[in-house]
């Protein structure tokens, strides 16, 4: 893995950014847009992924970074769980559900791989 100079270079952050765009697009359309509580929770969870990756990177140590990446991975799981709720309540269609779920799952996998890498790398 090449040297990462900025958090914007991290693939997991880039994919989390794409997930945020997808979630915001999804939550702007009815009927999900009308469920302000679920809509806001989905948005906050998605934004939390990006924010934790960036904040952890800026902390400057692998140990702290890993903790923030784990928090981000937890938020990716939260997004997936909330998508199930939106789908089960017929607030989003099957295709929208599948697309958003694939993005959230990818972000979680990238974060898991990055955590494994950092745990094997000296601080």
User: DSSP states of 27-68 as a string?
Assistant: HTSTTGGG-HHHHHHHHHHHHHHHHHHHHHHHH--HHHHHHH
Residue 98 domain flag: yes
User: Each residue of 7-40: pLDDT tens digit?
Assistant: 999 999 999 999 999 999 999 999 999 999 999 9
Range of the domain at 102: 10-120
**pLDDT score at 60:** 82
Q: What's the rounded mean pLDDT across residues 58-74?
A: 95
Q: Answer yes or no: is 80 within a domain.
A: yes
Model confidence pLDDT, tens digit, residues 32-60: 999 999 999 999 999 999 999 999 999 98
Q: What CA–CA distance (Å, rounded) separates 70 from 118? A: 12
- Residue 123's pLDDT is 59
Kindly report the pTM of this predicted structure: 0.94
* 66 belongs to a structural domain: yes
How far is residue 15's CA from residue 52's CA, in Å, rounded to a whole number?
A: 13
- Please give the average per-residue pLDDT across 55-68, as a whole number: 94
CATH number of residue 54's parent domain: 1.20.1440.60
- Position 1 in a domain: no
- Our count of domains for the chain comes to 1
Question: What confidence tens digit (pLDDT) does each residue in 71-113 have?
Answer: 999 999 999 999 999 999 999 999 999 999 999 999 999 999 9
Residue at 89 is within a domain: yes
């Amino acid at each position: 893995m090449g040297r990462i100079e900025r958090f914007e270079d991290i693939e997991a952050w880039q994919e989390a950014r794409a997930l945020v765009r997808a979630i915001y697009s999804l939550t702007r359309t009815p009927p999900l847009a009308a469920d302000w509580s679920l809509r806001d929770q989905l948005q906050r969870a998605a934004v939390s992924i990006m924010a934790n990756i960036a904040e952890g990177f800026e902390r400057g140590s692998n140990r702290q970074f890993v903790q923030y990446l784990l928090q981000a991975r937890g938020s990716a799981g939260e997004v997936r769980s909330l998508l199930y709720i939106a789908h089960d309540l017929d607030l989003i269609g099957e295709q929208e559900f599948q697309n958003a779920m694939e993005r959230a799952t990818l972000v979680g996998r990238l974060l898991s791989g990055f955590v494994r890498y950092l745990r094997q790398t000296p601080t």
